[in-house]
Amino acid sequence: MLKIENLSKSYGEKKAVIDLSIHIAPGEIYGFIGHNGAGKTTTLKACAGILQFDKGEIFVDGVSMKKDPIGCKKKMAYIPDNPELYDFMTGLQYLDFIADIYGVTIEERKERIHKYASAFEIEKDLPALISSYSHGMKQKLAIISAWIHSPKLIMMDEPFVGLDPKAAKLLKDMMREVCDNGGAIFFSTHVLDVAEKLCDKVAIIKKGELIRSGTMEQVKGDESLEDVFLELEADK
């Protein structure tokens, strides 16, 4: 579903991502972990088509990001680490905006908005301006907007930040549901417990380089993901 091949990106002299390759198959929840500034957000932004990369290729469901970025974006959704939504719109207006862009029919969007907004318990807040939302409510709205057009691939940068335990559990269920229906999830996180329990595969990045990836068993063996991560961080 997502194929990152030899991706490299520098900011001036600083190499943010170095020759990174990751393949995510349909049905997989893929966790992306690393310390602050390791290159996770840069990778996700490049995959979302909002950051130019220097070398390599990115394919979304077989479509090249370089050759057909719009074709790629039609198949996916991206939620940044800090939900940047339009304060001048209400929650409903924002969801309608996204649904209109992706061509979601009125019936489909109504059904999905009701389904997810009631699950996240923000249905009654949707008519209010986004400027009045808390961080958690914005995050929930960003999640609903990503799910509203049923993308094949969903990429999220630290999606659990700001969510209450109930919403976090709901998000995990929604992620699993996407994968059960043949989609894929690629997300970064600092919460290693969540990654360990939720992900089918995981990649650990350090200073822009992929230092370990594979199934959860391949990466952590008999140890906890936290121990493996800290050991790898201490190495080199």
Partner 1 sequence: MIKALLKKQLSELFAMLFYDRKRNRRVAGGKAALYIGLYILLFVMVIGYSGMMAVALGFGGYLTSPDYAWAYYGMAAVVAITLAIVGSVFVSYNALYKGKDNEFLLSLPVPPSKLLFTKLLSVWLSGFMWETLVLLPFYVVSWIIAPTLITPLGIIFQILLWLGISFVILFMIAILGWVIAKIATHLGRFKTLVVVLLFLGGFVGYMVLVSQLENGITTLFEDPAAVAQGFGSFVPAFAFGKACLGDALYGSIFFLVCAGLFALLYWVLSITFTKMISSNGKGKAITSNKREDKQRSVNHTLISREFRHFFSNPMYILNTSLGYVFFPIIGVLAIFNRGTIQGAIANIAAQAATEGTTPEAVTALIGLMLPVLVFFAVMLLCGMSVITAPSVSLEGKKIVVLQSLPISMKQILWSKIEFHCIIALPFTLISTVLISIGLSLDVLNAILVTILAAVIVFFYGVFGLACNLKWPMIDWKNENMALKQSMPVLICLLVGFVSPIVFTVIYFFIAAFIPPFIYLIILGALLGLLSWLLLRWINTKGAEKFQYLN
Q: Where does this chain touch partner 1 (CB under 8 A) — which range of 1-9, 123-131, 175-183, 218-226?
A: 123-131
Q: How far apart are CA 19 and CA 33, in angstroms?
A: 17
Q: How far apart are CA 167 and CA 163, in angstroms?
A: 6
Taking Cα atoms as reference points, which of 227, 78, 60, 100 lies closest to residue 155? 78
Of the candidate residues 43, 90, 139, 213, the single one contacting partner 1 (CB under 8 A) = 90
Residue 65 contacts by C-beta under 8 Å, 6 or more apart in sequence?
46, 47, 49, 57, 58, 59, 72
Taking Cα atoms as reference points, which of 93, 26, 90, 80 lies closest to residue 51? 80
Dihedral (Cα; 186, 80, 144, 185), 10-degree rounding? 0
x/- site string to partner 1, residues 55 to 74, per CB under 8 A?
--------------xxxxxx
Residue 92 binding partner 1, by CB under 8 A: yes
Nearer to partner 1, 132 or 215 (CB): 132
Q: Where does this chain touch partner 1 (CB under 8 A) — which range of 103-111, 174-182, 203-211, 221-229?
A: 103-111
Taking Cα atoms as reference points, which of 56, 72, 73, 69 lies closest to residue 22? 56
x/- site string to partner 1, residues 28 to 57, per CB under 8 A?
--------------------xxxxx-----
Residue 80 binding partner 1, by CB under 8 A: yes
Of the candidate residues 5, 19, 96, 200, the single one contacting partner 1 (CB under 8 A) = 96
The residues binding partner 1 (CB under 8 A) are 48-52, 69-74, 77-78, 80, 82, 84-90, 92-93, 96-106, 127-129, 132
